[in-house]
Structure 1
Amino acid sequence: MKTNYRGSSPLTRGMIATSSLLALLVSWPGGIAQAQQKTMRVSQAPALLTLNIPAQSLNSAILAFADKAGVQVFYDTARVQGLRSGGARGQFTPEQGLARILTGTGMSYRFTGANSATISAGSPAEANTLEQGGATELKPITVRATSTTSDSFTDMPNPSTVIGSKTPLTQREIPQTISVVTQQKIQQQNVQTLNEALQRAPGVTVLQSDSSRYQYYARGFPIGSIQVDGLPTSTNPNLSQTSSTGAPNLAMYDRVEILDGPAGLYNGFGSPGGVVNLVRKRAPYQFSASTELSVGSSGERKALFDVGGPINPEGTVRGRIVGDVLNGDLVQDGTWKKDRAIFGTIEADLTPQTLLRLGASYSRRTDHDTWVGSPIYSNNTPVGDRSHYFGSDWNKDIYETTDVFASLEHTFDNDWKLQFTGDYSYLKNSILQTDIYTLVDPATDLATIGSGKKDGSESNKSFDVFASGPVELLGRNHQFTIGANYSRMDEHQTTYYGAGGDDFNSQVIDVFDFNYAKPVWLGLPTDTDENRTKTSQFGIYGNTRLSITDPLTVILGGRVTWWRSDFEPDAVYNYDNYDATHDRYDGKFTPYAGVVYKLNETYSAYGSYSSIFQPQTERSSNNAVIDPIEGQQYEVGVKGEYFGGDLVASAALFQINQKNRAVLDPNFPFDAFYVAQGKARTRGIDLRLSGQIADGLTIFGGYTYNNSKYLDADSTDDFGSNFSQIAPTHLFKIWTNYRLPDRLNKWEVGAGLNVTSELYAETRTGRLTQPGYITVDARIAYNVSDKVSIALNGTNIFDRQYFQPASHSVKWGDPAKVMLTLRAKY
């Protein structure tokens, strides 16, 4: 889809967009306009439509309506620039739905056929003139685009999200910092997994815990809350034996939404760093199929298929199936991964106002690698180089996830919506590893190696029900949401210990020359530790968006949460001498407040207050769980929306305070007892820019400044990662992609920059430091036709060597890699 911007040169427009990100103080020049028309073409919709289109830019609302209604809509995007639509929720004929979308905008419409309509400014006669070919100021140029999915936001450069609300809102309507990794960005950057997406998302730091699992951080704190289609799911910070933190394959997801800062209103005891929402792919209204084949320099081979469409002639039942296979080498010589995923979903319009959605997925990942990466010398320098493997040839980790889900939503005639969602997942893992767990002597290259064998499983159940809709009060319309959700995780862990008194089969070895035979674990009740943990959470939440005046919206909300956690140690071989525990919090209230003030048609100012309540696992000397971490975030900022929402920018100031962080009890210096008294604080700046700057030129990126510090030197938390490891003072990420003009318009070029300031970890003998570094990515693509494209992606193209520091090891970053990808649509 082409769009022309008139009134300034491309260089000038780029400079203006950048300045908007950094300051948001200068208005966008009014002369820049989109001058080409857009047409959405989808399959024919039923006579009555169920619309759930939120208030947003008029341009985005028209696209969402066309996608849902199956109507070709002809209009001049320059005429709708800066206009807002009140949206449409409820049951309508196509004519009624389009009329509702245009209410109050000064625009009119005319249906020129059963599945086509024209929008113009002024009276309906003006639209009629266009249809008859008479003189008109619009001079339309029709560009056809096909949108096949039932997700109205899939093709938008800045889609509405549910991550800050149960109903879709534009980024400008949410008083916190938001980023969205769209399907377009996923394909442009050739992203395969969630960790790769978040490594490229502004404001996020990804810490690799071991060969297969990752921790995500923003603003110096963990992102421990993961939603799927807006449903909070259980997450497990026990990184030693669970696969919950494994990065899922993105083949089954359309996009990734990220909210920075606390988000406990809908997630329960939310983590302070933020929340990630994964949006599953939806079943399309008309047949669509695509394939993707990739081959890369690091031994990567990828094959993906994606097929969907109507199942019955009326199109009221639709399905989709996605499959993905990915093999490739990892960083160190001889290490590899195998990733498999399959996903299927069915959607059924039970009535014009009721939608049922069912689905299931299965994924399996196998890795041959080491957990800890490369060891370090006692003088705090890495041992060997990036490619050297310090594990055994029998190392292997296997992670499997099976998931089923269902949702039922109904829209009432008064625009209220009721939705129920449920999800069940079963995860299991098998881990077989060696670990060089001491520092290496630089004079002899000697260190101690050990091994471990672990099995684990989790079953997770999550349910959510909510109602949302408008309420008229004091002559104004307001939006209310009320709901409840429940989650439960049942975790089973089995750890096998060595026989004969050597629990970890330890040996002193030369790290560059050793042959560590695979031990035999007997698996007897006397040398196997099995334990179980059951954690549940139930909450009731409410939220209201009060329209105080036309420009002023006040958001007030709160949640009451009940939390339970029961731990049962092994009855025969309790290796760590744990006691059975039964911990709970009852009726904990967490408030939320925000305000959004519309300065004009382009800019909004906002402020928000978010609370933090995070249970901890550390225990006091009387074996009671210590008090939870508590705190709050304050954020103020400005957001700008340009070109009908195709480009958004934001600037924010934030501060996060925490108290009750775990600190070792000074009365028991040689025992692992804790008291809740540690404090920490982060202050910073977030700048973001995302969308289309000019014809064919897109941008996605931002800059984050973190001033993170412990106000108590001994402060820690359950995740055990210091600010120095996960909160670089400066973090800058940007990606741009440009489709060349005129005769070269089949070609695209892209480039990305990732800049991180210094990271370090305190070891037993000092400090291990990774200086600040820069990596560069690039892309070139050729569009053979509208349905076939070939792309060559390069990551870390200048082969910058860098690592993530830890207390006794480092994890090296990926070397320079290239991947060639062929994509085809049918």
Structure 2
Amino acid sequence: MKKIILLTLIFILPLGVISAFAQSAGIKGKVTDATGSPLEFANISLKNTKQGAITDANGEFSISEVNPGAYSLIVSSIGYEKQTREINLEKGQILEENFRMSELQLGLQTVEIVGRREVGYDNKETFSSTKTASLIKDVPSTINFVTKELILDQVAFTVNDVVKNVPGVNQFSFYNDISIRGFRIQGQRNSGTLLNGMRTFTSFWKPQLIPHIERVEVIKGPASALFGNASPGGSINRVTKKPLEESRKSISTTVGSFNTIRALADFTGAMSEDKKLLYRLNLGFENSDGFRDLQFSRNLVIAPSFAFLPTAHTSLNFDIVYQDSKGRLDRGQAAFGNRDLTTTPITTSLSAINDYLNEVTINATVSLLHNFSEAISFNSTYQLSSYTEDLLEHRTSNQFAALGDGSLDDTKVAMRVFIRKRSWNNNAFNNYLNAAYNLGSIKNTALIGYDYFRQEQLPGGSQLEARTYLLKNGNAVNSYNPDNRDNYQLDAEGNPLTNVAHFDLTSPISNGIRDMSKYIYNQVTYNQYLQQTHGIYLQNQSEIGPLKVLLGLRQEYFQDLLNYNSPEEEEVKQQALLPRVGLVYTINPRINLYGTWVQGYQPQEAAGIINPDAGGPFDPLTSEMFEVGAKTEWFNKRVSGTVSLYQIKERGGLYNANNPDNPELMLQLGEEQSRGVELNLSGNILPNWSIVAGYAFNDAKITQADIEEVVGRQKPNAPKNSANFWTKYIFENGSINGLGIGLGYNYVSDRFGSIVSADQPDVFPAYGIVDAALYYKLEKVQFQVNANNLFNKTHWVGGYDVLRAFPGSPRSIMTTVSYTF
């Protein structure tokens, strides 16, 4: 009986398989561009199924074994308009469908409401550089970016982790403190740091977190014509992840060196059946000890986003980003006074175990976009941000320990203590009207906008400072003057007694707990201030055949109210007229040439400096940039490249004066100049082969200053040469299908420290770092191992001097498991 059943199955099963194949259908076709040339690597998919194909070198594709029925056939390729075609398949039918793709023509959208659908290291469009949706190749300035895909591939968690992928950009310190083309941008300033194209207030002490970020954009040059006060080198814009119509969910966990644990989650999709209400929720958590003594990071990010699309003409977006960061303020490594950074371990920090830094940042953004017609649109965005700082730190007095005769003991660091609490609120309100119109054969897009920005330091901001040396009158000061030794309390050997004990670089117990009640404190009150700016600007983009012309003009009004809400309230007003001119010329579909001229302006009143001990008043910082370059696309627009030549002049830059009596005192220079060349390449050579590479030569010098010795000196923390490379390759065939490898290299030449004085500055040596990664994807699960600084190279990312040097991380291993569903 069993043999009969077996013979029956052997006879029936092949007939069933043959019947199934006979009843299934298939699709084949060809995809070309507007000129009829084949498009390789275009994506073809059947909506709501897992069936699809990718075109070959001839632009051809085929999909087999499709069940009969009605489908939506979708074709997409980077840089081209997506096409959807409704089809019906009958039993046994092989349907032929050919597509001719049109280049992506961006409309008048001025803010991102829904998410980016591109997947990879390349990004084709920007909203922030012109305040309209523009192809990056058509923008007359350099815009570099790091996408979320590259962020995940490198297991990056902060902006400081990813700027190594951008030519001409490097860390200035451990902090939220970046150098672009030799010019510094930093937190706790409202210039150079943007969130979704809006000026925002951020921490200075901790790098900005990015688990909720779609991409990090670096807009090179002074963008004052768009954003008001802006850094001469450029601005960093963090674009948050926005909702998508389709349902996507992913979670990942990372464990690794320095007791690091991270968890990320990203959920998006429709909240209503008609897909008019979309959501996205990003969660991020990190707990890490770091490689530095006593330093740790405990970070939490909660970032919900909602998009409401009531009609085809109106859309509304609401974002909240909540960040809670706990740790200690790391002032860097101190080495002995012989200027040899290797005399102390790179793990050396000056913190005490009872130090802390707690910060909370909240950003809430509402964006409205309405299209009155195909030619006219209006955008209005309001952003509220708040920041709170709660700090206790033991830190250097920026000098070695003084002896009674005025000499220094370079094995000990003079110390002081800060206990500080401060809070700020920021309000930004941006409104833009766009209109497309034609003048004969000339296509134009005009923009008129009004911006309002308000930054307020709230009541109660204050600091207790325990200074270094004890005076006989019961007070304390930060410096010792042997000419006035009779004013100081001295020990039996004639050395000045300390209020805060020196940090002994030779002792293993210098980081121990300190009794805060035994210090003598001076109180500093950060008086309330209010800073307001009003900006009105016009912009017109014209297209005259192959030539695109951008003209912009902004009138900015600045108002500072010092000692706000007090009888001593003082008003300071400034204004600036800021022009911008740009040209783009299309040589052929692959290559655009561009040129730009722009001016910048930054007030430098006390409200902007946020430090009552910095000195002043200071003149405003002004800047001017000329830039020319070329932008190109290759491999069917999957790879983008930029080459740029620039000159930037800045007048009125501020640097630490290295004054022992007032370590916070700033010095204003006359003029600085940066000239350079940058090369950048990003994208996918093949669908499974991604690359990011760049090189920058930057000759950034001090050209005018009261201190003659610094004229002609390279600007602080501005390397002349830097290079970056990262590539990822995924194997798609054979027994190693799904296995991937990543390899990267970063080079930075030597740099001067940031103390500007007649003395020769400390030098931070050149370095080259190799990173590597392994990936393995099994259906919805990906396993990933990253080895950063593979060869354990000792290096320093920046610094002020040998008392405040910022070493880079030694070798670290991070293991990540991700699940997508």
User: Does the Cα contact within 8 Å between 2:47 and 2:73 map onto a contact in 1?
Assistant: no
On the 8 A contact 1:284/1:309 being kept in 2, the answer is yes
Q: Identify the residue that residue 64 of structure 1 maps to in structure 2.
A: none
Quick check: 2:72–2:86 contact (8 Å CA) kept in 1? no
* Partner in structure 1 of residue 87 of structure 2: 112
Give matches, 1:201-350, under 5 Å: 201-208=166-173, 213-223=175-185, 224-234=191-201, 243-244=203-204, 246-350=206-310
Question: 1:472–1:512: structure 2 CA closer, same or farther, 3 Å change rule?
Answer: same
5+ unaligned residues in a row in structure 2: which ranges?
1-34, 50-58, 60-70, 101-112, 186-190, 403-407, 468-473, 479-498, 610-614
1:582 corresponds to: 571
Aligned partner of residue 768 in structure 2, secondary structure: strand
CA distance 1:533–1:189, shift in 2 (3 Å): same
Show the counterpart of 2:348. Answer: 388
**Cross-structure match for 1:497:** 465
Instruction: Tell whether 2:740 aligns with 1:748.
Output: yes
How far off is 1:343 after superposition?
Answer: 1.0
What is the distance in 1 between the residues matched to 2:286 and 2:243? 24
Match of 1:190 in 2: 155
Matched, 1:507 2:507: no
User: Number of matched residues?
Assistant: 693
In 1, Cα distance between equivalents of 2:401 and 2:791 = 30
Q: What secondary structure, in the 3-state scheme, does the structure 2 residue paired with 1:645 have?
A: coil
Q: Provide the rounded CA distance (Å) in 2 between the counterparts of 1:788 and 1:798.
A: 29
Once the two structures are superposed, the pairs formed by residues 697-716 of structure 1 within 5 Å of their partners are 697-714=689-706
Change (3 A) 1:361 1:43: farther
Question: Secondary structure, in 3 states, of the residue corresponding to 1:199?
Answer: helix
Match of 1:66 in 2: none
TM-score, L = length of structure 2:
0.78
- Matched-pair contact (CA < 8 Å) for 2:326–2:359: yes
Which amino acid in structure 2 is aligned with residue 793 of structure 1? N
Deviations 1:95-137 (A, max 9, x none): xx96xxxxxxxxxx85426xx9xxxxxxxxxxx9x99535989
Q: Secondary structure at the match of 1:112?
A: strand
Indicate conservation of the 8 Å contact 1:661/1:715, yes or no. no
Q: CA deviation at 1:811?
A: 1.4
* Corresponding position: 1:731 with 2:700: no
Task: Provide the residue aligned with 1:519 in structure 2.
Answer: 516
CA contact (8 A) 1:481 1:544 kept: yes
Q: Note if contact 1:234-1:487 (Cα within 8 Å) is conserved in structure 2.
A: no
Q: Which residue of 1 aligns with 2:533?
A: 537
Match of 1:420, SS state, is strand
Per-residue CA deviation, residues 307-334 of structure 1 (Å, 9 max, x unaligned), is: 2222122111112222111011222234
Which amino acid in structure 2 is aligned with residue 227 of structure 1?
L
TM superposition score normalised by structure 1: 0.77
Distance 1:36 1:187, change over 3 A: same
Q: Contact 1:638 / 1:652 at 8 angstroms: preserved in 2?
A: yes
Match of 1:35 in 2: 40
Question: Per-residue deviation at 1:552?
Answer: 0.7
Instruction: Answer yes or no: is the 8 Å Cα contact 2:337–2:411 preserved in 1.
Output: no
Q: Given the alignment, which residue of 452, 460, 465 partners 2:431?
A: 465
Q: 2:330 aligns with which of 364, 371, 374?
A: 371
Q: Closer, same or farther in 2 for the Cα pair 1:460/1:650, shift >3 Å?
A: same
SS at match of 2:125: coil
Q: Decide whether aligned partners of structure 1 residues 293 and 570 sit closer, same or farther in structure 2, where only a CA change above 3 A counts.
A: same
Residue 551 of structure 2 is matched in structure 1 by 556
2:338 match: secondary structure: coil
On the 8 A contact 1:583/1:625 being kept in 2, the answer is no
| Cα offset, 1:277, TM superposition | 1.6
Tell me, what secondary structure is at the counterpart of 2:162? Answer: helix
Mean alpha-carbon deviation: is it higher for 762-771 or for 526-535? 762-771
State which drifts further: 686-695 or 760-769.
760-769
Q: Note the C-alpha offset of 1:387.
A: 2.0
Structure 1 residue matching 2:245: 3-state secondary structure? coil
Q: Deviations over 1:355-389 (max 9, x none)?
A: 11112221111113x53222232222235111234
1:678-715 alpha-carbon deviations (Å, 9 max, x no partner) = 01111100111011113411111211101111112447
Alpha-carbon displacement from aligned partner over 1:184-241 (angstroms, at most 9, x marks no partner): 11111111112212233222111125xxx32112111124422222223356xxxxxx
* Secondary structure in 2 matching 1:285: coil
Maintained 8 Å contact 1:453/1:495: yes
Question: Contact 1:399–1:427 (CA<8 Å) still a contact in 2?
Answer: yes
2-structure distance, mates of 1:413, 1:220: 44
What is the SS of the residue equivalent to 1:728?
Answer: coil
Amino acid in structure 1 at the alignment position of 2:620: P
Q: Give the whole-Å Cα distance in 2 for the aligned partners of 1:233 and 1:177.
A: 22
Are the structure 2 counterparts of residues 758 and 406 from structure 1 closer, same or farther at C-alpha, using a change threshold of 3 Å?
A: same
Alignment partner, residue 689 of structure 1 = 681
Q: 1:660 to 1:326 in 2, by over 3 A?
A: closer
The answer as to 2:589 corresponding to 1:610 is no
Q: How far has the Cα of 1:611 moved from its partner?
A: 0.6
Following TM superposition, by how much is the alpha carbon of 1:760 offset from its aligned partner in structure 2, in angstroms?
2.1
Hey, what does 1:155 align to over in structure 2? 119
What are the within-5 Å matches in structure 2 for residues 75-86 of structure 1? 75=75
For residues 580 and 448 of structure 1, do their structure 2 counterparts lie closer, same or farther at Cα, with a shift above 3 Å needed? Answer: farther
Q: Which residue is 1:813 aligned to?
A: 808
With 283-292 and 183-192 compared, the bigger mean Cα shift is at 283-292
Larger deviation: 591-600 or 694-703?
694-703
**C-alpha distance 756-33 of structure 1, shift in aligned 2 (>3 A):** farther
What letter matches 1:320 in structure 2? R
Give 1:479's aligned residue: 445
Cα 1:638–1:245 shift into 2, 3 Å: farther
> Cα distance 1:320–1:715, how it changes in 2: closer, same or farther (>3 A)?
farther
Please state how far the C-alpha of 1:821 moved relative to its aligned partner. Answer: 0.5
Asked whether the equivalents of residues 660 and 679 of structure 1 are also in contact (C-alpha less than 8 Å), the reply is: yes
Q: Which amino acid aligns with 1:501?
A: N
Q: What CA RMSD, in Å, does the superposition of the two structures yield over aligned residues? A: 3.6
- CA distance 1:32–1:649, change in 2 (3 Å): farther
**Structure 2: distance between partners of 1:439 and 1:766:** 17
SS of equivalent to 2:528:
strand
The answer as to 2:129 corresponding to 1:164 is: yes
**Distance in 1 between residues matched to 2:36 and 2:699, nearest whole Å:** 40
Q: Is the 8 A contact 1:233 1:487 kept in 2?
A: no
- 1:625 matched to 2:629? The reply is no
Check the 8 A contact 2:724/2:745 in 1, yes or no.
yes
Q: Which residue pairs with 1:798 in the alignment?
A: 791
1:37, CA displacement in angstroms?
3.9
Between the aligned partners of 1:779 and 1:110, the Cα distance in structure 2 is 40
Over 3 Å counting, the alpha-carbon distance change for 1:675 and 1:399 in structure 2 is: closer
SS at match of 2:140: coil
SS at match of 2:152: helix
Contact 1:426 1:458 in 2 (8 A): yes
Equivalence for 2:650: 658
Conservation of the 8 A alpha-carbon contact between 2:41 and 2:687 = no
Quote the sequence identity (%): 22
- Equivalent-residue separation in structure 1 for 2:564 and 2:86 (angstroms): 69
* Residue 447 of structure 1, CA deviation: 3.1
Q: Is the 8 A contact 2:166 2:724 kept in 1?
A: yes
How far residue 546 of structure 1 moved from its aligned partner, in angstroms, is 0.8
3-state SS, counterpart of residue 187 of structure 1? helix
Opposite residue 495 of structure 1, the aligned amino acid is Q
CA 1:199–1:539 in 2, change beyond 3 Å: closer, same or farther? same
- SS of 2:753's equivalent in the other structure is strand
SS at 1:531 equivalent: coil
Q: Is the 8 A contact 2:176 2:204 kept in 1?
A: no
Q: Identify the residue that residue 413 of structure 1 maps to in structure 2.
A: 373
SS of residue paired to 1:390:
coil
Preserved contact between residue 425 and residue 459 of structure 1 (Cα < 8 Å): yes
The answer on 1:781 being equivalent to 2:771 is: no
